[in-house]
Amino acid sequence: MKSEIQSIHFKADQKLKDYIDQKLDKLNRYYDGIVDAQVFLKLENNHSVDNKTIEVKLNVHNSIIMKTQTSQTFEAATDLAVDALKVQIKRYKERVQSVS
């Protein structure tokens, strides 16, 4: 899967980008119709500990699946977002198969 990672108002290191790519590639196990992924990394300007936000947008054949997650680290936010996307992908796959 091709993924595009954009960090907004900061420069993300390659280690973080590789981690996100690795996690997103695992989603292909659940549905092979994922075309590509767009990932946006944001640092929120609040005084909370949970100020790192990841927004993942998956383009599948006829739809878009999105998830936004905030946590203390980008890695933790990525893990939570991928787990939620896994559930959404499974539901989407069931809907597509029931229509066919």
CA distance 48 to 7: 20
**Residue 45 to residue 49: CA distance in whole angstroms:** 11
Question: pTM of the prediction?
Answer: 0.91
Predicted pLDDT at 28 = 93
Query: 3-state class of 16 per DSSP?
Result: helix
Look at residue 39 and tell me whether its pLDDT is greater than 90: yes
Per-residue confidence at 61, pLDDT binned at 50, 70, 90? confident
Domain residue limits, the chain: 2-99
CATH number for region 2-99: 3.30.160.100
